[in-house]
Amino acid sequence: MSPTPGKRRRIAWPLGTGLLLCAAASLVPLLFAQKAWPPITAEESALKDCPQIPGAGAIFLFREEIADIKAGETRVFKRLKVLTAAGRDRANVEIMYVKGLYKVVDLEARVVPPEGVPRPFTGQVFDKTALLGPGIRVAVKTFALPDVTPGAIIEYRYKLVVDTSVVKGDAEDILDALPTGRGKPPEGDIGKGMKLLSLPVERWDIEEGLFTRKARFVYVPGDSWGFILSLLFDGRPSLLWFSKRIPDTHPVWNKDRLELEVENIPPFEAEELMPPESSEKMCVNLFYFDSKFKDPKAYWTMECKNWQKAAEAFLGRPHKLAAACGEIVGDETDPARVLMRLYERVQQIRNLSYEQDLTSRRRKEQKIKDNRNAADVLERGYGYRSDITRTFVALARAAGFEAEVVRVSTRDDKLFHNAFLSFTGQLDSEAALVPVGDKTLLFDPATPFCPFGLVHWTRSNAAAVRFSEKPPAFFTTPVYPPELGLTQRVAALRLDARGSLSGTIEATYMGHEALIRRLDHIHDDAEEVRRSLEEEMMELLPEGSEAKMTKLENIDNNAPALIARFDVVLPGLAVETGDRMLLPASPLLGKRQHPFRHAERKYPAYFPYPFREFNDIVITLPDGMTVETCPPPQKAQDEFCSYSLLAMQEGPLKLHVQRDLIVHKSFFSVEQYPALKSFYDAVRTGDTEQFVLRALAVVDY
């Protein structure tokens, strides 16, 4: 079902940013009082199976989530039933939250056995870190319920509140603590003084990992924080919702609250190499919306117009940067080289978006000011991502290029949808668009180590908007060829008489592959980088192998290639069968499973970007060994993928293997899955080919 915006309703003095704005306005101590557990129905007690999913180990009988802004808390209640022995692992409960921003309070749990008295949980609750991001720690509160058997019902409930022990009432500190999507670097201000037109406040995730019989979601707006919204919006906003993949139901107003009740929700089961989960899950996004807009087109028109105005004001007039541009360019006249010099210059600017723990308080301590224009950025030598991108565009204009800033929807955690009316929530990044010769190229100068002419993969093949006299002007950013996602491995290995391989592997990463690793390790020391790259190489090698990195080049710059060399040992790879030895033609497949081994698929297949993997392997045989059989050449190809394996003997004691896998696009619909699976089945068959080796007989005279 296609997502559709919800009906609008006027709210008197609603709360704009959920619990956080509630905390920003007033940090009043909260009092909590536990209630009796909701009664278990006879039907729930008698349930022994799930007709919709026969054999399910466990199911949710009921889930409830109430975001009560008026009370300053979110209340969560879950009731599940263990149906089989396989479902007993649900006795291990995990609750995710953002530690340091929120806290879990009033946690209660109990087990109701099939027969007997309910047992309240009195054990220990543990915290463990799940994800570390800039300024935030996503944690899991976990506990184990004892003696859970099939037929038992598990119940637990808790409240999620702002952690007032960390957030002391400073509104800037609260905003600094906001999660930014797996550590996504901030872009900086869109434009000073702009009123909000839309503000997301809540997301209801309808699906979970188990089948859900019934679920209820509630949003209770605040009634005393209207002055906050009046500062952000031009008047009182409406509360809207954006529903995705929810059939035949929608939220309804019940007095002072918005409610959604759903039944028989299938479990969400993530698949390998699928699009971002947020784009595939059933969900409802709630957001406040400027009431004067009548439809999405009018909203996007105004948002894009405001953004264009702010961006153009930041760029300023080209002649004001003419002197700075001349110093950077020098006597260079070739357009591409001129642009490259400007690109290299702005990449030297201190990039505040990638500095860890740069809070508002630390900005004040370091006397970091907000940049008003590109001239400020060049003079002060620092800026956030959008400052740097816009400065590159301003310099390009000063050099005579018709450059422009574009706003892009990064696609690592979402896919853009026109009906979700959130400009900064969807179009959350900026890049530069510059005509060079007969081509118009996209640039990403604000991403550290990003090579000239490339953008981070999340900004490629993505929805974007550009300058237009009649906005909005949506377009799709370019797709880069597989060669800009190249991983090449050159291996020089020696086989010993016991069937073990040892030698060196040099891995070269190009384009996206190099940039990903550079950003992954932008804050790591040399030891952390070494350990991580060795672990990555170990994933390609058979169980029990060893890998030690001996060389690393270009991890901290934007050179075209990132190169890492390893000394490796692959013990017992070749297997003896009588007087012969079987040696895999592709020894660098490691523990990776065939990604499309299942007969059917629920979600599209989604590679981050087109890519190429090329392995060139030379294996030297021990004296006294000969090649009896070489694998025949392997080849598979369809419209969007190609694969080849060429294994040959070069000289009496030398084997040469070349494996080449190329995928030319990133998105494969469910309808295209059979063809993609068939292709990867052929790849798996080819990769299992083997050399047959034989030891020469020793003749005594």
Tell me: do 353 and 245 sit in the same domain. Answer: no
CA atoms within 13 A on the CB side of 562: 25
Quote the DSSP letter at residue 225. Answer: -
What is the distance between the alpha carbons of residues 597 and 683, in angstroms, rounded to a whole number?
12
DSSP β-bridge partners for residue 564: 507, 552
Three-state secondary structure string covering 468-491: CCCCCEEEECCCCCHHHHEEEEEE
Tell me: do 173 and 246 sit in the same domain. Answer: yes
Contacts of 86 (CB under 8 A, 6+ apart): 57
Look at residue 304 in the predicted model and tell me its pLDDT: 94
CATH of the domain at 420: 3.10.620.30
Look at residue 181 in the predicted model and tell me its pLDDT: 37
For CA atoms 487, 492, 494, 495, give the dihedral sign.
positive
Enter the tokens of residue 643: 């694969």
Look at residue 249 in the predicted model and tell me its pLDDT: 85
Amino acid occupying residue 524: D
Tell me: do 414 and 452 sit in the same domain. Answer: yes
pLDDT tens per residue across span 537-580: 999 999 999 999 999 999 999 999 999 999 999 999 999 988 89
**Domain final residue pick, 261, 289, 317:** 289
CATH of the domain at 218: 2.60.40.3140
Q: Kindly state whether residue 52 falls inside one of the protein's structural domains.
A: no
Look at residue 129 in the predicted model and tell me its pLDDT: 80
Q: Kindly state whether residue 148 falls inside one of the protein's structural domains.
A: yes
Tell me: do 487 and 391 sit in the same domain. Answer: no
Task: State whether residue 564 is helix, strand or coil.
Answer: strand
**How far, CA to CA in Å, does 543 sit from each of 122, 135, 507, 589?**
42, 37, 20, 11
- The residue with tokens 């891995």 is 507
Tell me: do 473 and 487 sit in the same domain. Answer: no
For CA atoms 375, 378, 381, 385, give the dihedral sign.
positive
The pTM of the whole model exceeds 0.85: yes
Q: Kindly state whether residue 154 falls inside one of the protein's structural domains.
A: yes
Asked if 47 and 82 count as a contact pair (C-beta separation under 8 A), the reply is no
Enter the tokens of residue 482: 């597989």
Q: Kindly state whether residue 19 falls inside one of the protein's structural domains.
A: yes
Task: Please count the other Cβ atoms lying within 10 Å of the Cβ belonging to residue 670.
Answer: 12
Look at residue 193 in the predicted model and tell me its pLDDT: 59
**How far, CA to CA in Å, does 478 sit from each of 408, 454, 463, 514, 611?**
12, 10, 10, 19, 15
What is the distance between the alpha carbons of residues 221 and 240, in angstroms, rounded to a whole number?
12
Enter the tokens of residue 618: 């030379």
Q: Kindly state whether residue 187 falls inside one of the protein's structural domains.
A: no
| Structural domain count of the chain | 3
Burial category of 268 from C-beta neighbours within 10 Å (exposed 0-12, middle 13-18, buried 19 and up): middle
Tell me: do 250 and 368 sit in the same domain. Answer: no
**Domain final residue pick, 445, 478, 511:** 478
* Rg, C-alpha atoms of the chain: 29
Tell me: do 672 and 580 sit in the same domain. Answer: yes
472 preceded by cis ω (within 30°)? yes
Task: Please count the other Cβ atoms lying within 10 Å of the Cβ belonging to residue 17.
Answer: 23
Report the length, in residues, of the chain. Answer: 701
CATH of the domain at 689: 2.60.120.1130
**How far, CA to CA in Å, does 506 sit from each of 501, 555, 626?**
15, 15, 27
DSSP of 424-473, one letter per residue? Answer: HHHS-EEEEEEEETTEEEEE-TTSTTPPTT---GGGSS-EEEE--SSS-E
Quote the DSSP letter at residue 422. Answer: -
CA angle 2, 6, 10 (to 5 degrees): 170
DSSP β-bridge partners for residue 138: 98, 131
What is the distance between the alpha carbons of residues 452 and 443, in angstroms, rounded to a whole number?
7
Task: State whether residue 557 is helix, strand or coil.
Answer: coil
Task: Domain of residue 14: give its range.
Answer: 4-26+62-181+194-289
Q: Kindly state whether residue 671 falls inside one of the protein's structural domains.
A: yes
Tell me: do 457 and 431 sit in the same domain. Answer: yes
Pairing of strands 561-570, 486-495: unpaired
Amino acid occupying residue 492: A
Residues of the chain with confidence (pLDDT) below 70: 1-34, 130-137, 166-183, 189, 191-194, 224-227, 697-701
Tell me: do 599 and 656 sit in the same domain. Answer: yes
Q: By C-alpha distance, which of 591, 592, 585, 641 is closest to 612?
A: 641
What is the distance between the alpha carbons of residues 339 and 345, in angstroms, rounded to a whole number?
10
Tell me: do 440 and 527 sit in the same domain. Answer: no
Q: Kindly state whether residue 362 falls inside one of the protein's structural domains.
A: yes
First to last CA, the chain: 83
Tell me: do 369 and 320 sit in the same domain. Answer: yes
Task: Please count the other Cβ atoms lying within 10 Å of the Cβ belonging to residue 533.
Answer: 21
DSSP of 331-365, one letter per residue? Answer: T---HHHHHHHHHHHHTTSEEGGGSTT--HHHHHH
What is the distance between the alpha carbons of residues 550 and 538, in angstroms, rounded to a whole number?
14
Look at residue 3 in the predicted model and tell me its pLDDT: 37
pLDDT tens per residue across span 251-263: 999 988 999 999 9
**Domain final residue pick, 457, 478, 499:** 478
What is the distance between the alpha carbons of residues 239 and 222, in angstroms, rounded to a whole number?
12
Q: By C-alpha distance, which of 426, 94, 130 is closest to 278?
A: 426
Look at residue 33 in the predicted model and tell me its pLDDT: 40
Tell me: do 535 and 646 sit in the same domain. Answer: yes
DSSP of 5-25, one letter per residue? Answer: EPPPEE-SS--SSHHHHHHHH
Q: Kindly state whether residue 100 falls inside one of the protein's structural domains.
A: yes
Reported as type and span, the H/E element at residue 489 is: strand 486-495
DSSP β-bridge partners for residue 79: 62, 155
Enter the tokens of residue 667: 């998105």
